[in-house]
Amino acid sequence: MYSIVGRFLEHSRAYYFKNNGNSSLYLGSADLMQRNFDRRVEIFFPIEDPRVKEDIVEILGLYLTDTVKTRVMMSNGDYVRKSLLLKDQGTPFKDVNIQEYFVKKVISKHERELKEEMRKKVIAKEARKAEV
């Protein structure tokens, strides 16, 4: 089990199970912690649409590349930073912060959309000037 909590204390609650070639994907509103089930009403639901499931599994694959914020649950229930495990194993790795990757991706998309919007406004303004 992996835990990835970023700077916004936001984290996905996706549960992906593979059993004998069959896979199940669930999203939920809570972590699997006792207090979340004793004092709250929480929901877990299956993802059944194959296209949506495929997209989420792809995103989960990207999350598994994270080496900065990922903690791995050990057999005794303790969590250890993935980077420490990789170092101990002598496995070379790069620092990957997947949440920062997604934040940068959204910012970049937003900037492109703003530039396109400004370009359209300039063209419209020039067209109005030409009509006069």
In this predicted structure, the answer to whether residue 33 has a pLDDT above a threshold of 90 is no
What's the pLDDT at 113? 95
Structure letter (DSSP) for residue 39: S
Domain 2-96, CATH: 3.30.870.10
Provide the phi-psi class of 126: left if phi over 0, else alpha when psi is between -120 and 50, else beta: alpha
Q: Average pLDDT of the chain?
A: 90
Summarised one tens digit per residue, pLDDT across range 34-90 is 777 787 888 889 999 999 999 999 999 999 999 999 999 999 999 999 999 999 999
